[in-house]
Each structure stands twice: as structure tokens, then as C-alpha cells.
Amino acid sequence: MGVLAAETLKGPSIAWFDLSPLLVLLSGAMVLLVVAALTPQWPKRCYSSFSAVIALVTIGLCFPLWHRIDVDGPSTLVGGAVHFDKMTIWVTLTIGLAVFLASLLSDDYLRREGLEGPEVYALFMLAAIGGIVMAASNDLVVLFLGLEILSITLYVLAASHRKRLRSQEAGLKYFVLGGFSSAIFLYGIALVYGGTGSTNFDAMLRALANTVPTKGRDDAILLAGVALLVVGLAFKVAAVPFHFWTPDVYEGSPTPVTAFMASAAKAAAFAAMLRVLLQGLPNFSRDYRPVLWVLAILTVFGGSIMAVVQTNVKRMLAFSSISHAGFMLVGVEAAAHAAGGPGNDGRSSVLLYTLIYTVLVMGTFGIVTAVSRTGDNATDLAAFRGLGRSRPVLAFGMTILLLAQAGVPLTSGFVAKFGVIRAAVEAKSYSVAVVAMVAAVIAAFLYLRIMISMWIAEPEAGDDQREEVRLPVYLTVAISLSVAFTLFVGFFPGWLIDLAP
């Protein structure tokens, strides 16, 4: 009987090359975990170099796949479970960049902290797999699997600094609160399945289209499911009031891990939000759009206001990350106006923002990695005092990245913020656009405080006794690439804007 069942069972066809970025990342993680476990300690920089090469191969594969979509058009893979379109490739490229830069940031950091080994790099790759699956999903169950792969690896990464109590605390807090959000999201999937009979986006759309509307029809189950899905995704993007985990986790996690969370995890979560709301549940756009409107306003204001009262730079950047999530929510809200229709610039502006912010935040936290010194504890404003005198080039790079995060013209940050605000204006969401611009002015004070500490603050007693800020090769390369990209896109934004799907 079992043999007969096995003979009649036919699985979906697999387009292996279309899935090659995932396979490369998985192979890289397995090599690190298996080969490194069976061989002596690898020479200096070999773990990070291998991880960076895997990330570059992943990025390189995105270009022929992008061309293939240009020729053959978008499709679905693995029995309709995942999308193969330009949005998937864009997010793959974004997350690949995050893995590449995080590998460079982690090289000297792990040796400095006495934590060198292959585990962190393998976890970066596995987290990237989860993020790409989230972005490519065409099924709520597949999305949940990607979410859990990403989340579990981030829980471990947050607690990976075994010598710091704050890192252990960050991992535990993230695990407990992340578990609650995952449960809420899963409950939302169950309710949506109960209302539509499927978790596949295409089947859900057909089920809703074939349902004959009746007077007094009760959509309570579906609406409850949509609400729970929005709450679960809002937690992952750190939207106010579901942001409470962010400052503690960002501060306690190893600084390169914080950079990876703020970039790759956020890009994956926003891609998943766009998939669920615009492609899975466009019929309910009138119901969730007011919620997105409120979340966007609360998040841009909440993140900006709470950031300016902090004294720890990592907490400042954590609340800044929340504010940036609010700007991305402005784009999501604008995209929701065209859900199920021909579309507008909302989705493209969000995807453009995720890529630009990934590079920005990686460079910024790269400088924090250097300034935090041995122990990863020197992350308050005092640690940056006098950086302009002792390390003027590093301080100049930090200034450029902070100005970009503030949205100053001729930087990539201006391009990102202008894109989402323009999308909101085109969608006639004028109030959200105005609030976002006001919040950007408030947040500028945060970045100004850090710059004042670097360039203007007078030295105090004991400053000359501090450990010297070191700039190893890989960290210097990562920061330099981030600053160069920030300025290049700021001066020549057209090519990137045209590419955004």
C-alpha cells in the first residue's frame, strides 16, 4: 500500500536555477557548520571572507534572474507557493547586501570580543533564507515558515555574545515577545483560512471573488484574521505601539547583529506586509487602510520623539529605526489605495527605501561597532566625544550617514524619504505626508546631537585614557562602501528609482 502511494505521489516541478540564491545561501551555511566543525580553526578572516563571497554570489545570481523575468515575465514556483518576480529578486539583492556588509562588520568584532567562529556567519545566511522566503511567499503558511526561520535565527544572534549579560537579556526578551507575535500571526492565518478555505493568495482571491455578497453578510472571522495578521506584521517591522522590544534588543545585541536586524529583517518584514495586504487581501483594503494610516502616524512621530531623549547611541538608532519604519508605512498606506488595481508608486517607494536604508544603517552601525571598543559597551554619546579630532575621516563618514538618515538632499536618505512622501501625495494621503515631513524635522535633532558630540563637544577628564578606536580592513571597506553608495545615489538617483519594481 505504501509503495503504491509513493508511486502515485507526484510533487511539484522545481525550477532549481530560479531558486539558486536560496540554495547558495543554504550551501554556504551548511559548509560553515559542517566543514568548520570537522576542521581546525580557520585562518584569520577566512570565516568572514567565505560568508562575504557567498553573499556576493547570491547578489550576482540576481542579475540573470532579473533578466529572465524581463524576458519571460513573472511566475510562481514550487506549485504556486512562492513568487518569482522582480520584487522577490529586489529583496534577495537587498538581503544579500545585508549579509555581505554584516560579514565584514563582524570580522574584527568577533575576534575583538573573543567570539570568533563560523556560527554567527552561518546564522546570517539562514536568517537571509527566511527573509527571502517571506518576501517571495504566495501562501500564508510558507510566509509563516520563512518568518520563523528568520525569527529563530535572530533570537540566537541577539544572545550570541556569551560574555555580555545584556546580550542574553536581549535574546530572551526578543524570544518571548517574538513568540507572542508569531502566535498572533498564526492565529490570523487560521481565521483567514476559516473564512476563505485556503492559505494560498491566488486561491484566497478566487474564493473572495466567487462569494456572492448578501445583505447583512458577516465577515467578522475574516476581518479578525486580517487584524491579527496586521498586528503580527506590525510587530516585525517595529511599528508603534508594537515597538517596545526594539530599543532593548537593539542595545543588548552585538552591534553587527543589530545592524543586520535593522536592515535585512526590516526589509523582509515590509516585503511580507506588501505581499499579504496587496496581493493576498486587496479586497479588505478599505478595512486595513485606516489602521495603516494610524500606524504610520504613530510610528514616525513616536520613533522621532522618543529618539531625541535618549543618551545611548544604539538606543537612539533603535528609535530612529522605528521612525524609518514609519516612513515605510507611509509608502505601504499609499500602496493600499491601489490594492487590487493597476497600482501606484507606493510599493516601489517602500522597496527602494528598504534597499537604501539597508546600506545606510549598515554603515552607521559599522561606525558604532568601531567606537564601542572592546566589550561593546561604549555606545553612549560620551564615547563619540572628540571623534572628529582623533578620527576625522571616520567622523566625516558618520556625519554623511547621519545626514542621509535625516533626509538631507544629495544623499540617498533624501531620495528614500522623498519617494514615500511623493507616493502618499499622489494617493491623496496629504495628512500622512505632512506628518512625515514634520517628524523628519524632529528626528533631525537626534542626528545633530551625535554630530555635536563628535565635532564640537569639549574633551573631559579621562577621555585620553580610553581605548583607541580601531579601524580594521574589513570594517573600513564596509563603511567606505556604505558612504560611497549613500553619496552616489544622492547625486545620481535616477537609475535606482527606475529599477525599483
pLDDT in tens, 92-143: 999 999 999 999 999 888 888 888 888 999 999 999 999 999 999 999 999 9
Residue 386 contacts residue 126 (beta carbons within 8 Å)? no
pLDDT (0 to 100) of residue 5: 55
Position 3 pLDDT exceeds 70: no
DSSP state of 408: -
The H or E element that residue 145 is part of is: helix 140-158
In the predicted model, what is the mean pLDDT of the chain? 89
pLDDT single digits (tens) 462-491: 667 778 888 889 999 999 999 999 999 999
- Does a cis peptide bond (omega within 30 degrees of 0) precede residue 118? no
pLDDT (0 to 100) of residue 342: 65
3 state DSSP class of 9:
coil
Q: 331: which residues sit within 8 A by CB, 6+ positions away?
A: 346, 347, 349, 350, 353, 419, 420, 423, 424
Q: What is the mean pLDDT of the segment spanning 361-387?
A: 88
Position 381 pLDDT exceeds 50: yes
Name 84's bridge partners.
75
Confidence band of 8 (pLDDT split at 50, 70, 90): low
Position 267 pLDDT exceeds 90: yes
pLDDT (0 to 100) of residue 38: 84
Position 216 pLDDT exceeds 50: no
Residue 245 contacts residue 173 (beta carbons within 8 Å)? yes
Q: What is the mean pLDDT of the segment spanning 264-279?
A: 93
Position 501 pLDDT exceeds 90: no
pLDDT (0 to 100) of residue 93: 96
**Residue listed under C-alpha cell 535633532:** 445
pLDDT (0 to 100) of residue 390: 86
Q: Name the burial class of residue 416, with classes exposed (0-12), middle (13-18) and buried (19+) by CB atoms within 10 angstroms of its CB.
A: buried
Q: Which of 362, 303, 366 is nearest to 330 (CA)?
A: 303
C-alpha torsion angle, residues 345, 349, 351, 354 (rounded to 10) = -170
Compute the distance between CA of residue 262 and CA of residue 258 in angstroms, rounded to an integer: 6
Compute the distance between CA of residue 189 and CA of residue 222 in angstroms, rounded to an integer: 10
